[in-house]
Chain A
Amino acid sequence: MNMGVLLRLALLLLLVAFLANPQAFEPLFAPFAANGAAAIYTQSSLLSLTVSHLSMVAAATIAATVVSVGLAILVTRPSGREFLPLSRSVANIGQTFPPVAVLALAVPVFGFGPIPTLIALFLYGLLPIFENALTGLASIPPSVQEAARGVGMTDTQRLLRVELPLALPIILTGIRLTAVISLSTATIGSTVAAKTLGEVIIAGLISNNTAFVLQGGLLVALLALFIHEGFGLLEGALTRRTRSVQPA
Chain B
Amino acid sequence: MTGAGPAETMSAQADDTRVKRRSGLDRLGAILAAIAAAGLAFQPFSLFRANRIVAAKPVGILSALPPLEAWLLVAVVVAACAVLLLRTPPALRLVVSALTLAVLAVAVGRSGMFLTPSSNTYARVAPGGAFWIVAFAFSIALADASVRLKMSPLARLALLAFTGGALWMLLWSGAWDSLSILREYTNRADVFWREARVHLLLAIGSLAGAAVVGIPLGILCFRVQPIRATLLNSLNILQTIPSMALFGLLIAPLAWVAAHVPGASAVGIAGIGIAPAFVALFAYSLLPMVSNTVAGLESVPPQVRDAARGMGMTARQRFFEVDMPLAFPVILTGIRIVLVQNLGLAVLAGLIGGGGFGTFVFQGISQTATDLVLLGALPTVALAFAAAIVLDALVEIANPTPNRSAAA
Q: In the complex where A81-B19, A98-B347 touch, is A108 in contact with B370 (Cβ < 8 A)?
A: yes
Chain A positions 58-113 with a Cβ under 8 Å from a chain B Cβ? 78-79, 81-83, 85-86, 88-90, 92-93, 95-101, 104-105, 107-108, 112
The stretch among B64-72, B164-172, B244-252, B261-269 that forms the contact with chain A is B244-252
CB of A117 closer than 8 Å to a CB of B: no
- B379 nearest CB across to chain A (Å): 10
CB of B188 closer than 8 Å to a CB of A: no
Partner of B245, one of A81, A107, A187: A187
Sorting the interface of chain B by its residue count into under 10, 10 to 19, 20 to 34 or 35 or more gives 35 or more
Partner of A104, one of B20, B249, B373: B373
* Contact assessment for B248 and A104 in the assembled complex, using a CB-CB cutoff below 8 Å: no
CA distance A3 to B19 in the complex (A): 58
Partner of A32, one of B15, B28, B252, B376: B252
CA distance A86 to B384 in the complex (A): 20
Chain B residues within 8 Å of A107, by CB: 365, 370, 373
* Contact assessment for A100 and B361 in the assembled complex, using a CB-CB cutoff below 8 Å: yes
Partner of B248, one of A90, A97, A205: A205
Q: In the complex where A93-B385, A187-B242, A228-B240 touch, is A104 in contact with B364 (Cβ < 8 A)?
A: yes
- A57 nearest CB across to chain B (Å): 12
* Contact assessment for B364 and A85 in the assembled complex, using a CB-CB cutoff below 8 Å: no
* Contact assessment for A221 and B241 in the assembled complex, using a CB-CB cutoff below 8 Å: yes
- B255 nearest CB across to chain A (Å): 10
Q: Is the interface of A mostly helix, strand, loop or mixed?
A: helix
CB of B407 closer than 8 Å to a CB of A: no
* Contact assessment for B2 and A82 in the assembled complex, using a CB-CB cutoff below 8 Å: no
CB of A133 closer than 8 Å to a CB of B: no
Q: In the complex, what residue of chain B is closest to A209 when comparing beta carbons?
A: B248
CA distance A67 to B240 in the complex (A): 25
Chain B window 327-353, contacts with chain A (Cβ cutoff 8 Å), 1 for yes, 0 for no:
000000000000010011101100110
Chain A residues within 8 Å of B392, by CB: 92
CB of B27 closer than 8 Å to a CB of A: yes
CB of B358 closer than 8 Å to a CB of A: yes
CB of A192 closer than 8 Å to a CB of B: yes
CB of A125 closer than 8 Å to a CB of B: no
The stretch among B139-147, B190-198, B214-222 that forms the contact with chain A is B139-147
Chain B residues within 8 Å of A208, by CB: 251
- A103 nearest CB across to chain B (Å): 9
* Contact assessment for A187 and B244 in the assembled complex, using a CB-CB cutoff below 8 Å: yes
* Contact assessment for A201 and B19 in the assembled complex, using a CB-CB cutoff below 8 Å: no
CB of B278 closer than 8 Å to a CB of A: no
CA distance A82 to B28 in the complex (A): 9
* Contact assessment for B147 and A85 in the assembled complex, using a CB-CB cutoff below 8 Å: yes
CB of A134 closer than 8 Å to a CB of B: no
Q: Name the residue in A96, A97, A220, A225 with the highest tally of chain B Cβ atoms < 10 Å from its Cβ.
A: A96
CB of B148 closer than 8 Å to a CB of A: yes
Partner of A98, one of B20, B27, B247, B384: B384
11 new A-B pairs (CB below 8 Å) besides A112-B368, A187-B245, A216-B242? Answer: A81-B16, A86-B147, A92-B388, A104-B347, A205-B351, A205-B352, A210-B252, A213-B249, A220-B245, A221-B242, A228-B240
6 nearest interchain CB pairs? A98-B344, A217-B245, A213-B248, A108-B370, A224-B240, A184-B242
